[in-house]
């Protein structure tokens, strides 16, 4: 997605409009980069509306960091859940926390004689955090789309979940805080923004540098290379040699080794590595 001011304003207005229709918001973040994958305006946008922070891709992030993030949100009085939307892990918890949060509201409605009003929720998040995957995972087999018979509905589509819950079938897409170079790099490392923003060779070099700092052991073990007290470029060269990323004549194929490292990092092959911890705030 190419974000420009007009586009940002439009998506924000759309999210604002949809927020009026729901009882609870699921703010989806990438557990590897909970800061960089956060929309800078989201807190103001959501306001007092009940919110659950969903830390997705927990399979790719470090267990230790995951625990720290949950604690961090707990301290702030915000409900947070670790999820692996691709495997459907943690989605039940989202539903049970939602029901818990909305219990009082439902009881008040009951007292007024309004029964079985569905609890409505929507997902918001920056591109690539896993919004569609989470919708599919929550929808699962136990659910049915409401009003999606051909010719019947125009307008909002609600997916019926268990427990009298309904989920808006289109997520709210918002922009990340990409003016910050660190944020841009984190988004690029995790594959959330396209490689074209920075050339792959430089990106891979920056990733090697970052991993040398925060995850030297996994890097060393994955590629059997020395990583301590070394220049990132030398580490990159060694990885290229180990993996046979060589052009005819013996020169290093930087594009190939760069793609290899980025792919392996994004798929969790180097390890479950979190790039941002609460104490980075
Ligand atoms: P946009 O449509 O760009 O806004 O993206 P989105 O937020 O809807 O993300 P989407 O569901 O398309 O997921 C992006 C990528 O992340 C896909 O390749 C998913 O398979 C992957 N993905 C989503 N959730 C998880 C997860 O929990 N673990 C892992 N390993 N991959 C995931």
Tokens representing residue 43 in the block: 């807190």
| Residue 254 CA to ligand 1 centre (angstroms) | 28
Would you say residue 35 has pLDDT above 50? yes
Report in angstroms the alpha-carbon separations of 20 from 46, 49, 69, 122, 148: 10, 9, 29, 10, 22
C-alpha of 159 from chain center: 21
Q: How many angstroms does the Cα of residue 207 sit away from the middle of ligand 1?
A: 21
Give the position of tokens 């092959």.
269
Question: pLDDT tens digit string along 7-26?
Answer: 999 999 999 999 999 999 99
Looking at per-residue pLDDT, the higher value among 281 and 57 belongs to 57
CA quadruple 214, 217, 223, 226: dihedral sign:
positive
Assess whether the C-beta atom of 184 lies below 6 angstroms from ligand 1.
Answer: no
| Nearest CA owner, ligand 1 atom 20 | 86
Domains and CATH numbers, the chain: 5-173 (3.40.50.300), 199-280 (1.10.1580.10)
Mean pLDDT, rounded, for 187-193:
93
- What atom of ligand 1 comes closest to residue 125's alpha carbon? 7
Is 90 exceeded by the pLDDT of residue 40?
Answer: yes
The pTM score is 0.93
Residue 193: is it exposed, middle or buried by C-beta count within 10 angstroms (0-12/13-18/19+)? buried
Question: Does residue 155 have a pLDDT over 90?
Answer: no
Residue with tokens 């859940």: 81
> Higher model confidence: residue 141 or residue 261?
261
Query: Which residue in 205, 176, 173 sits closest to 189, CA to CA?
Result: 205
pLDDT at 154 exceeding the cut of 90: no
**Mutation choice for ligand 1 from 28, 29, 122, 128, CB with most ligand atoms inside 8 A:** 128
Q: Going along the chain, which residue ranges are E strands?
A: 24-30, 51-56, 79-82, 119-125, 144-145, 158-161, 165-168, 172-173
Mean pLDDT of 110-120: 86
Mean pLDDT of the chain: 91
The pLDDT confidence band at residue 143, using thresholds 50, 70 and 90, is low
* Total Cβ atoms within 10 A of residue 83: 28
Query: Does 130 contact ligand 1 (Cβ within 6 A)?
Result: yes
Distance in Å, CA 131 to ligand 1 centroid: 6
């Amino acid at each position: 997605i190419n974000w420009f001011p007009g586009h940002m304003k439009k998506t924000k207005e759309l999210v604002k409009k949809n927020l009026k229709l729901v009882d609870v918001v699921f703010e989806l973040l990438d557990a590897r980069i909970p800061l960089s994958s956060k929309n800078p305006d989201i807190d103001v946008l959501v306001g007092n509306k009940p919110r659950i922070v969903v830390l997705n891709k927990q399979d790719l992030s470090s267990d230790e960091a995951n625990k720290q993030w949950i604690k961090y949100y707990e301290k702030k009085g915000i409900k947070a859940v670790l999820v692996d939307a691709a495997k459907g892990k943690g989605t039940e918890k989202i539903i049970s926390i939602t029901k818990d949060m909305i219990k009082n509201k439902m009881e008040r409605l009951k007292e007024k004689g309004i029964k079985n009003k569905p609890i409505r929720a929507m997902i918001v998040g920056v591109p690539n955090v896993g919004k569609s995957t989470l919708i599919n995972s929550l929808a699962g087999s136990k659910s049915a789309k409401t009003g999606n018979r051909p010719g019947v509905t125009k307008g909002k589509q609600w997916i019926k979940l268990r427990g009298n819950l309904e989920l808006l079938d289109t997520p709210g897409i918002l922009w990340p805080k990409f003016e910050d170079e660190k944020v841009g790099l984190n988004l690029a490392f995790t594959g959330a923004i396209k490689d074209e923003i920075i050339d792959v060779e430089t990106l891979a070099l920056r990733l090697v540098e970052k991993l040398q700092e925060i995850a030297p052991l996994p890097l060393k073990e994955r590629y059997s290379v020395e990583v301590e007290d070394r220049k990132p470029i030398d580490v990159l060269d060694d990885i290229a040699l180990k993996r046979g990323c060589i052009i005819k004549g013996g020169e290093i194929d930087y594009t190939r080794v760069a793609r290899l490292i980025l792919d392996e990092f994004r798929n969790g092959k180097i390890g479950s590595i979190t790039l941002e911890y609460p104490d980075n705030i």
